[in-house]
Structure 1
């Protein structure tokens, strides 16, 4: 698994992003490339931007009990896995804007470093270790970049 806290690995993620074009087609799934980039940005918005609501207590319990392990472990996501409602992107997005936002989020995460994420609270899953944060970020990016052949 790649490490979002290592410069070399972040460089590889950014290189993959830079291989995308506004007309790149997915190998599976229904998202367009601009929607995929916006979708990937949601993970970072939940960390850095105060625009997503924390789940209510019941939903939080369900997420921690049944979803968290699959999201933060090292096992890859299967193709066409269901996603949470806030990750569903409808309509067209600005490809360049979403691409630049994602690169900026990757760099910000690298610059903050592993220590900043140790025990950091996730909106959906409660406190996570830096390893769990890494797994969540890295495997999500890898899943969608592979979806678009980069």
Structure 2
């Protein structure tokens, strides 16, 4: 797994994003390219904002039990997997706006660095190591960039 906290990895991800156009079609799935970038931005919104309410009680228990290892573990995502409701993007989105937000999120994460993320509380999973944060961010982005052929 590449390290999103390393400048060369973030530059590589941004270069892949720069290859996308509003007309880029997915190799699988139903999202448009703009929706995909908005979908990827949700992970950063959950990390950097209070835009989404945190799960509590039994819901949090189920998320930790069933989703945590899938999200922060090394096994790649399967194509056409279901996503959490908060990550569903069904409306149309502005390509350039979502692209710039995604690029800024990648840069911000890289600049904050591994130390910032060590034992940082995740929206739904509790404290994560910087390695788990790296997996959460990189694996998700890589999966969707591959979905769009870049």
Tell me which interval the TM-score lies in, with the shorter structure as reference length.
Answer: over 0.9
Q: Distance in 1 between matches of 2:75 and 2:3?
A: 14
Q: Distance in 2 between matches of 1:14 and 1:76?
A: 20
- Residue 132 of structure 1 and its aligned partner are, at CA, apart by 0.3
Whether 2:72 is the aligned partner of 1:68: answer: no
Q: Per-residue CA shift, 1:3-56, capped at 9, x if unaligned?
A: 110000000000000000001000000000000000000000001111011012
Q: Distance in 1 between matches of 2:37 and 2:25?
A: 13
1:11 maps to: 11
- Residue 128 of structure 1 and its aligned partner are, at CA, apart by 0.4
- Residue 67 of structure 1 and its aligned partner are, at CA, apart by 1.0
- Residue 65 of structure 1 and its aligned partner are, at CA, apart by 1.1
Whether 2:95 is the aligned partner of 1:95: answer: yes
Q: Distance in 2 between matches of 1:74 and 1:138?
A: 10
Instruction: Return 5+ residue gaps in structure 2 as ranges.
Output: none
1:139 maps to: 139
Aligned residue pairs, count: 150
TM-score by length of 2: 0.99
Q: Per-residue CA shift, 1:49-103, capped at 9, x if unaligned?
A: 1101101211110011111011101111000011000000011100000000000
Q: Distance in 2 between matches of 1:16 and 1:50?
A: 29
2:53 maps to: 53
Describe the SS at the equivalent of 1:75.
Answer: coil
1:119 maps to: 119
Q: Distance in 1 between matches of 2:75 and 2:13?
A: 18
Whether 2:73 is the aligned partner of 1:83: answer: no
- Bigger mean CA deviation after superposition, 6-15 or 50-59: 50-59
TM-score by length of 1: 0.99
Describe the SS at the equivalent of 1:113.
Answer: helix
